[in-house]
Structure 1
């Protein structure tokens, strides 16, 4: 089926979310399976830090969950990207999804048995992070093979918007469970929901077509070893726009991600209970609302500039939320932060998928996995450590201000990012990073 940009009225095309990628059956199955699994994951995302805080009554331990997740991402994320470029990406996604299933079942068992070990929680979080590091690059790289190049921004927006929808409903449902039952019942229920719904992602991976790697330019077999990883890093080092896009995302997440503070703030300021669910859901609500009116993102030409502005907006909104004293105002400001985060995430992922050739997408998605998933974990550690030393208010507000300021400084110091525009024009040429014309299909991979 030919998917044309003229299939929708002009005004709808500009503002409403673009659903055309769902007409591609393989992409639709992956989208559906991932959406169901992501909804279940949100129960665990809330339950683990709540359980850790209940066991230790210390936000520093909650922050250590970020370390437990980040170290495996750093080690296995790059390797997972190399694997995704060397063997069938469908098989990589399936294997990683099964391993994630094992980790969630481990969380369920320890909750049922009432083990009460912070160290065991850290170990199971680390195992789930290994699984994500293996499957994440393959899942991200699949998108550009499943849909036409012109629909990559729309497919990326759909992925992020759906993930945010599940991130709204999941934490709210988890907060309801925590409000109704005591932790001895609520935690096993939360983990059981995740384990059950994760089956949808395994089903989606099984139904995908084979996705073998494209032939290597030198004609040799693909190897998922150190040399392959080094080649990917070397390619990234020669791509300033991609490097800067990763750097600004790290700034946003490391300095202004307040997630590790939510259990403490919900308990001390707002009496606990359902408040923690609202805090965990608020950023996702903003991203969801922004995604529903995201049709304009695919038409943005100054993608680099929009990325910088979105990160600055994120930092400012987070800082203001830290100053707010009422739960509803905190939620509203975090909603605004979430909207900015949706824009920055979609623009940056679209830049990566269109800029990079398919033979490199797995490895670059591996780096992306380290940045996107590792950044918030480092942010958890930063927030938890600052809260332990200076209080949650300083950790929250100071981080938001720092992110906004550093994003501006990065953009001023390295203007290649703000100058970036995606390939355009009937002749398929553009001027990229001030280095002269570049073929529009040089970074598309077919």
Structure 2
């Protein structure tokens, strides 16, 4: 059965009600502990390595190995997320994180932190990178199964808030603990954060949908890449995420050097990171009304511009206080930009591809950090910390451009042979490009008859629209690929049999069954259902899809706009 579609005026539950949810609430708390741990560790490692080496390049190398796992393991992690139990995968990965930090704490406590130089820290950072690479796609892909559809945008925003609360608390906590209690205590605190997340996931029960591989869908990473190449809106969102990651990396990598330039202490590393995170936390207050007024894309674009302005202010700020204020502004923009882009991906990507696309999200946001850290470190050594930060901030403007572009521009086509409609769930196994120009004045041949087999579909681009052609019980049906709800690509959604009720004589529900004679199209964005044979909404007859004339002759299929 398809999920309930949210009404146009249903923004979902408030943040407070969502945090009190028995499923999402514990997940939020556990994720907050784990995210705080990684920021605590990142600052601790940066301070330790800089104390040992006095080199920003070494600090950049430490950040590079910490986030390299998201880049190297992405092909396997995305496939694992689509093939295995995501909850168990998260438990395994975060257990490895806890063991890595606990092992480093034992090493420093027994051997000391000066006799072997920065190498133990690099090893622990690399193991954290491996665990992050394994869990990142699953952690992103599991969010739609934690909450009902109307709550998805707010859940994604709260996920970003989790990360940014951790960004606000973790760096300051890491600097304070390292400065007062030492590196061993900081590592144990990080280990405890990951352990808390593991405990929450052990007791959390989720009803994830089965992800059986349909014919032609092997679940390979290559198929995920093919899907992204065929969806310019998805690929642009991923490029924007990568540009944002590059723009904000100096907050950690270059800050130790910036602190010396401004005459601040080592704790400035934590203060600046906390100011950036605090801005993201405060932004949640204005995010919902902005998103409802401007939409996801415009909100994301404006947020990216604010990130650029904030990071430029960090670079030119004359004092530590001024740089901290600018970091706060940058944090405001980061939440708006990152949560909007992530919401686009969550709602636009079908379940069957979500793990692999979220793996690419991890490559874009976390996997680019190795290159970003090395680049930032090299620029800071060559030009100084301030020019390096100002130069890198320009990449956020590129993120705004990618986020704002019209999703219909350059849209490609999806053609799918499709299995029998007798199956409960219809999945799209093959993604291939094919562009057909359809005349608005006369019927135009769009395909050979055998290209649309029984139970199959063909989705083609036209001059200014996209049309889906379906064959069911020998008849052809053609609809505009635009959902009546919020314009989602409805013809690329799943096909399921209608869920019908059996009523007894008292008009009480007696049973439910699947009516294979009345298949429904389910929009992949918000779950709106439409009858394949009539184009009308399953529950509101006044709502329907735009239908086009379609006929078959001389071995071809013809559509009239």
TM-score for both structures, normalised by structure 1: 0.85
Q: Which runs of 5+ in 1 are unaligned?
A: none
1:375 to 1:308, Cα distance in 2 relative to 1, 3 A: farther
> Which structure's relative contact order is higher, taking Cα pairs within 8 Å and 6+ residues apart?
1
Two-structure CA RMSD over aligned residues (Å): 3.3
Deviation for aligned residue 1:62: 0.7
Q: Which runs of 5+ in 2 are unaligned?
A: 412-480, 494-520, 529-561
Preserved contact between residue 64 and residue 381 of structure 1 (Cα < 8 Å)? yes
Deviation for aligned residue 1:444: 5.5
The answer to whether residue 386 in structure 2 is matched with residue 387 in structure 1 is no
1:359 to 1:407, Cα distance in 2 relative to 1, 3 A: closer
Preserved contact between residue 74 and residue 359 of structure 2 (Cα < 8 Å)? yes
Equivalence for 1:239: 231
Equivalence for 1:149: 149
- SS of the counterpart of 1:427? coil
- SS of the counterpart of 1:416? coil
Deviations 1:144-185 (A, max 9, x none): 012111211101111211322232122222232344x3xxx5
Deviation for aligned residue 1:300: 4.8
Preserved contact between residue 323 and residue 397 of structure 1 (Cα < 8 Å)? yes
Deviations 1:279-335 (A, max 9, x none): 121110110111233322552553223222221221122012210111111111110
Deviations 1:347-401 (A, max 9, x none): 011111111111211111111112121234432221101111221122111111x
Runs of 4+ in 1 over 3 A off after TM superposition: 2-6, 210-213, 404-412, 414-420, 424-429, 435-440, 443-446
Preserved contact between residue 102 and residue 191 of structure 2 (Cα < 8 Å)? yes
Q: 1:4 & 1:367 partners in 2: Cα distance?
A: 27
Equivalence for 1:208: 204
Equivalence for 1:331: 324
1:25 to 1:256, Cα distance in 2 relative to 1, 3 A: closer
1:19 to 1:376, Cα distance in 2 relative to 1, 3 A: farther
User: Going by fraction, where is helix more abundant, 1 or 2?
Assistant: 1
Equivalence for 1:352: 345
Deviation for aligned residue 1:132: 0.9
1:426 to 1:67, Cα distance in 2 relative to 1, 3 A: closer
Deviations 1:242-280 (A, max 9, x none): 111111221222245312011111234233143222112
Q: 1:46 & 1:397 partners in 2: Cα distance?
A: 22
The answer to whether residue 76 in structure 2 is matched with residue 79 in structure 1 is yes
Deviations 1:72-123 (A, max 9, x none): 2212123111101101111111111111111111221232222443233222
* 1:415-426 matched pairs, under 5 angstroms: 415-416=406-407
Preserved contact between residue 46 and residue 171 of structure 1 (Cα < 8 Å)? yes
Deviation for aligned residue 1:46: 1.0
- SS of the counterpart of 2:73? helix
- Structure ID, larger Rg: 2
- SS of the counterpart of 1:325? coil
* 1:304-383 matched pairs, under 5 angstroms: 304-383=297-376
Preserved contact between residue 356 and residue 445 of structure 1 (Cα < 8 Å)? no
- SS of the counterpart of 1:216? coil
Equivalence for 2:37: 40
- SS of the counterpart of 2:325? helix
Q: 1:186 & 1:431 partners in 2: Cα distance?
A: 53
Equivalence for 2:185: 189
Q: 1:4 & 1:355 partners in 2: Cα distance?
A: 15
Deviation for aligned residue 1:431: 6.4
Deviations 1:3-22 (A, max 9, x none): 9999x9x9xx89x9633333
Q: 2:134 & 2:271 partners in 1: Cα distance?
A: 31
The answer to whether residue 98 in structure 2 is matched with residue 124 in structure 1 is no
Preserved contact between residue 67 and residue 367 of structure 2 (Cα < 8 Å)? yes
TM-score for both structures, normalised by structure 2: 0.69
